[in-house]
Structure 1
Amino acid sequence: MKIGILKTGPVPDALIADFGEYHDMFEAMLAPYGFDFQVWSVVDGDFPQSLEDADGWLITGSRHGVYEDHPWLPPLEQCIRDIFAAGRPLIGVCFGHQVIAQALGGRVEKYAGGWAIGPKVYHFPDGPRVIQAWHQDQVIAPPEGAVTLAHSDMCEHAALLYPGKAFTVQPHPEFDDGFIQGLMDHRAKGVVPDDVLAEAQGRMGKALDRDAMAAMFAKFFREKEIS
């Protein structure tokens, strides 16, 4: 099965040598499941010629906001609607989670409660999972037909299921502690409050439920179901 990855932003230059780009992290996370991958850098205007170019699609995270004015955002939202119409499985993470919701009529805003950074507990129907977070924006109002599957203390709609169509999550199962530390060192200064960074630093080292999330992603790609 071939997964098309739609890349919506770059990794900070200082982290690429150690961690690769966002698509590299997803490929590593899903490596046990035997998928093939192709990447389109939609942030640079590179879009697939046909939705038949891949059997399933994944939209990455980004430093950009879905409500910002970028020339690649309207065609990405149309691409999302086309993927839905074609019935190909779609997964979105962080920015991907948000832009899918927005493209389908949901609302995304900066959360008044501030930033979610580092390992956080997300409550799924089958129990809590610890996943890395790095966001302030979040889905405030899901689109019609979306089912909220997970929440955290700072994010009411942390995972959304669009039955038979898409599965999206706000946190980053593809991130590890090292990458989060790199973001703290190279992207957070002057952006994320110092007390938030200090509190997140104290939670580093928790066991992450990366493998469980990878299994959910793989099942959704193959069966368009998560359980």
Structure 2
Amino acid sequence: MKIGILSAGHLPPDIAARHGAYPRLYADLLTGHGFDFADWTVCDGVFPPSIDAADGWLVSGSKHGAYEDLPWIAPLEAFIRALDADRRPLVGICFGHQIVAQALGGRVEKFAGGWSVGRRAYVWGDDTWHLNGWHQDQVVAPPAQAQSVASSDVCRHAALAYGDHILTVQPHPEFSAAFTADLIESRGRGVVPDAVLARAEAALDLPLDNRAMGDRLGAFLKQAHARRGAGAAGS
């Protein structure tokens, strides 16, 4: 199964040099599932030729806001709507979570409570997942077709499910503790309030559920692909 990564941003060069760019982070997150990967840097205007260019899709994080007036936002939203209309498997992470919601009729805004950076507990049904986050924007009004399936103490709609073919999450399961520590130094100082950064740094040694979430997302993509194939065979 081929996963198309839609890269909606660039990591700071020093971070990418140490940890890899977005495509590598997501390939590592989804390792063990037998996926092949291709990537398109949509924030630079580079888009796939069609929704048939991959079997499943992932929209990355970004420093940009989904609501910004940027030339690649509308084409990305159109691509997401095409994926949804054809029930293609799709995962969104952080900005990806937000842009999918906006493309399908939801609303994204800066959270009145400010930044969420570092490890938080996300309640998903009977489970609790500890994952790193890095965001100020949130989905404040999900699309009508979306089901809110996870939340944290500062994020009401931390994961959204759209039928059985789209799943998006606000936190960053691809962010390790070391990555978050480096990002605090590279992008956090002077931008994120000191108290928020101090809270994040105090949690750097605590365990994360990145591997488990990566497996959950990988299994979702494979199951959505299998369901779509079974549906096509039966039609």
TMscore range, shorter length: over 0.9
Deviation string for 1:135-194 (max 9, x for gaps)?
Answer: 010000000110111000000000000012200000000110111111110101221011
CA shift for structure 1 position 214: 1.2
User: In the aligned structure 1, how far is the partner of 2:211 from the partner of 2:199?
Assistant: 25
Which residue matches 2:64? 64
Q: In structure 2, the residue corresponding to 1:148 is in which secondary structure?
A: strand
Matched ranges for 1:97-136 at <5 A = 97-136=97-136
1:151 aligned onto 2:148: no
User: In the aligned structure 1, how far is the partner of 2:192 from the partner of 2:13?
Assistant: 19
User: In the aligned structure 1, how far is the partner of 2:217 from the partner of 2:66?
Assistant: 23
User: In the aligned structure 1, how far is the partner of 2:148 from the partner of 2:205?
Assistant: 28
User: In the aligned structure 1, how far is the partner of 2:219 from the partner of 2:30?
Assistant: 11
Q: Which moved more, 1:148-157 or 1:197-206?
A: 197-206
CA shift for structure 1 position 204: 1.2
User: In the aligned structure 1, how far is the partner of 2:77 from the partner of 2:165?
Assistant: 15
Percent identity between matched residues is: 50
Which residue matches 1:222? 222
Q: Tell me the amino acid that sits aligned with residue 90 of structure 1.
A: L
> Please, what TM-score do these two structures have when normalized by structure 1?
0.97
CA shift for structure 1 position 212: 1.4
Q: In structure 2, the residue corresponding to 1:215 is in which secondary structure?
A: helix
Which residue matches 2:78? 78
Between Structure 1 and Structure 2, how many residues are aligned?
225
4+ aligned runs moved over 3 Å, structure 1: none
Matched ranges for 1:20-99 at <5 A = 20-99=20-99
Q: Which moved more, 1:131-140 or 1:10-19?
A: 10-19
Q: Which runs of 5+ in 1 are unaligned?
A: none
User: In the aligned structure 2, how far is the partner of 1:165 from the partner of 1:211?
Assistant: 21
Q: Tell me the amino acid that sits aligned with residue 156 of structure 1.
A: R
CA shift for structure 1 position 205: 1.3
Deviation string for 1:93-141 (max 9, x for gaps)?
Answer: 0000000000000000000101111111000113111001000100000
Q: Tell me the amino acid that sits aligned with residue 118 of structure 1.
A: G
User: In the aligned structure 2, how far is the partner of 1:104 from the partner of 1:86?
Assistant: 14
1:5 aligned onto 2:5: yes
The alignment's C-alpha RMSD in Å is 1.0
Which residue matches 1:205? 205
> Please, what TM-score do these two structures have when normalized by structure 2?
0.94
Which residue matches 2:165? 165
User: In the aligned structure 1, how far is the partner of 2:114 from the partner of 2:71?
Assistant: 28
Q: Which runs of 5+ in 2 are unaligned?
A: 226-235
User: In the aligned structure 2, how far is the partner of 1:117 from the partner of 1:72?
Assistant: 26
